[in-house]
Structure 1
Amino acid sequence: MMQDVREALGSILPGQTAFGLLAALLRRTVRYGSLVVIDPWDERHAFGTGEAPFATVRIADPREAARLLANPRLRVGEAYMEGGLTLEAGTLRDFLLIGVAASGAMTKEARALREFAAPFRPRRHNPIPRARANVAHHYDLSEELYRLFLDEDLQYSCAYFQDGDETLEQAQAKKKRHIAAKLRLHPGVRVLDIGSGWGGLALELARRYGVEVDGVTLSQEQLAVARARAAEAGLEDRVRFHLRDYRQEADSYDSIVSVGMFEHVGTPHYLEFFDALSRLLAPDGVAVIHAIGRKGPPGEADPWIDKHVFPGGYCPSLSEVFAAVERSGLWVTDVEILRLHYAETLRHWAERFQGERGRAAALYDERFCRMWEYYLAVCEAAFRVGGLMVFQIQLARDIRALPLTRDYVVDAERRGVP
Structure 2
Amino acid sequence: MNRILTYFLDHLLHTGNLTVIDASGHRQTWGDGTGMPVAIRFNTKAAERGVALNPSLRFGELYMNGDIDIVEGTMYDALAIIFQNAGNNVTSRPWMKALERLRIAARRIVQYNTPKRSRANVQHHYDLSGELYDLFLDEDRQYSCAYFERPDATLEEAQLAKKRHIAAKLKFDRDDLRVLDIGCGWGGMGLYLAKNLAADVVGVTLSDEQLAIAQRRAEEAGLSDRAEFRLQDYRKTEGPFDRIVSVGMFEHVGVGFYDEFFERCAKVLKDDGVMLLHTIGRYDPPGTTNSFIAKYIFPGGYIPALSEVMAASERQGLIITDVEVLRIHYAETLKHWRERFLAHREEAKALYDERFCRMWEFYLAASETAFRWQDLVVFQMQFTKSLDSLPITRGYMAAEEDRLRRIDERPAGNSNVTDIRECEAAE
TM range (shorter): over 0.9
Indicate if the aligned counterparts of 1:71 and 1:114 stay in contact, CA closer than 8 A.
no
1:95 match? 78
Choose the corresponding residue for 1:312, options 291, 295, 300.
300
1:13 match? none
Indicate if the aligned counterparts of 2:23 and 2:44 stay in contact, CA closer than 8 A.
yes
Distance 1:32 1:260 in 2: 35
Distance 2:176 2:262 in 1: 25
Distance 2:390 2:14 in 1: 46
User: How far 1:51 moved relative to its partner?
Assistant: 2.4
Indicate if the aligned counterparts of 1:29 and 1:105 stay in contact, CA closer than 8 A.
no
Cα 1:178–1:321 shift into 2, 3 Å: same
1:127 match? 114
Choose the corresponding residue for 2:278, options 252, 265, 290.
290
Distance 2:215 2:96 in 1: 52
Cα 1:253–1:375 shift into 2, 3 Å: same
Alignment of 1:168 onto 2:155 = yes
Distance 1:245 1:33 in 2: 47
Choose the corresponding residue for 2:125, options 138, 148, 153.
138
User: How far 1:306 moved relative to its partner?
Assistant: 0.4
Give the gaps of 5 or more residues in structure 2.
408-423
3-state secondary structure, aligned to 1:126? coil
1:202-261 CA distances to partner (integer Å, 9 max, x unpaired)? Answer: 011101111110000011110011011111111111100011111101110000000000
Choose the corresponding residue for 1:45, options 6, 28, 39.
28
Runs ≥4 in structure 1, deviation > 4 angstroms? Answer: 112-115, 117-120
Distance 1:240 1:135 in 2: 20
1:199 match? 187
Cα 1:255–1:118 shift into 2, 3 Å: closer
Indicate if the aligned counterparts of 2:53 and 2:96 stay in contact, CA closer than 8 A.
no
Distance 1:318 1:118 in 2: 22
Cα 1:368–1:233 shift into 2, 3 Å: same
With 388-397 and 34-43 compared, the bigger mean Cα shift is at 34-43
Distance 2:78 2:250 in 1: 29
User: How far 1:33 moved relative to its partner?
Assistant: 2.9
Alignment of 1:228 onto 2:216 = yes
Distance 2:200 2:263 in 1: 23
1:28-107 superposed matches below 5 A: 28-52=11-35, 54-101=37-84, 102=86, 104-107=88-91
Distance 1:162 1:58 in 2: 40
User: How far 1:85 moved relative to its partner?
Assistant: 1.1
Choose the corresponding residue for 2:136, options 136, 144, 149.
149
Distance 2:380 2:31 in 1: 36
- Letter paired with 2:234: Y
1:104-142 CA distances to partner (integer Å, 9 max, x unpaired)? Answer: 434231616977x96573411211001000000000001
Indicate if the aligned counterparts of 2:60 and 2:359 stay in contact, CA closer than 8 A.
yes
Q: Taking structure 2 as the reference length, what is the TM-score of the superposition?
A: 0.90
User: How far 1:20 moved relative to its partner?
Assistant: 2.2
Cα 1:282–1:53 shift into 2, 3 Å: farther
With 273-282 and 335-344 compared, the bigger mean Cα shift is at 273-282
Choose the corresponding residue for 1:387, options 358, 375, 387.
375
Choose the corresponding residue for 1:346, options 329, 334, 345.
334
Choose the corresponding residue for 2:394, options 401, 406, 411.
406
Distance 1:67 1:278 in 2: 46
1:236-385 superposed matches below 5 A: 236-385=224-373
Distance 1:98 1:310 in 2: 25
Alignment of 1:111 onto 2:95 = yes
Distance 1:30 1:68 in 2: 15
Indicate if the aligned counterparts of 1:23 and 1:45 stay in contact, CA closer than 8 A.
no
- Letter paired with 1:195: G
Indicate if the aligned counterparts of 2:103 and 2:288 stay in contact, CA closer than 8 A.
no
- Letter paired with 1:255: R
User: How far 1:49 moved relative to its partner?
Assistant: 3.5
User: How far 1:187 moved relative to its partner?
Assistant: 1.4
3-state secondary structure, aligned to 2:63? helix
- Letter paired with 1:178: H
User: How far 1:99 moved relative to its partner?
Assistant: 2.6
User: How far 1:52 moved relative to its partner?
Assistant: 2.6
Indicate if the aligned counterparts of 1:70 and 1:113 stay in contact, CA closer than 8 A.
no
Distance 2:370 2:346 in 1: 26
Indicate if the aligned counterparts of 1:36 and 1:47 stay in contact, CA closer than 8 A.
yes
1:5 match? none
Distance 1:163 1:408 in 2: 22
2:416 match? none
User: How far 1:35 moved relative to its partner?
Assistant: 1.6
2:167 match? 180
User: How far 1:53 moved relative to its partner?
Assistant: 5.1
Distance 1:237 1:370 in 2: 42
3-state secondary structure, aligned to 2:89? helix
Cα 1:394–1:114 shift into 2, 3 Å: closer
Indicate if the aligned counterparts of 2:91 and 2:97 stay in contact, CA closer than 8 A.
no
3-state secondary structure, aligned to 2:121? helix
Distance 2:31 2:72 in 1: 15
Distance 1:127 1:103 in 2: 34
Q: Taking structure 1 as the reference length, what is the TM-score of the superposition?
A: 0.92
3-state secondary structure, aligned to 2:194? helix
3-state secondary structure, aligned to 1:63? helix
1:11 match? none
Distance 2:263 2:96 in 1: 41
- Letter paired with 1:184: K
Indicate if the aligned counterparts of 2:22 and 2:48 stay in contact, CA closer than 8 A.
no
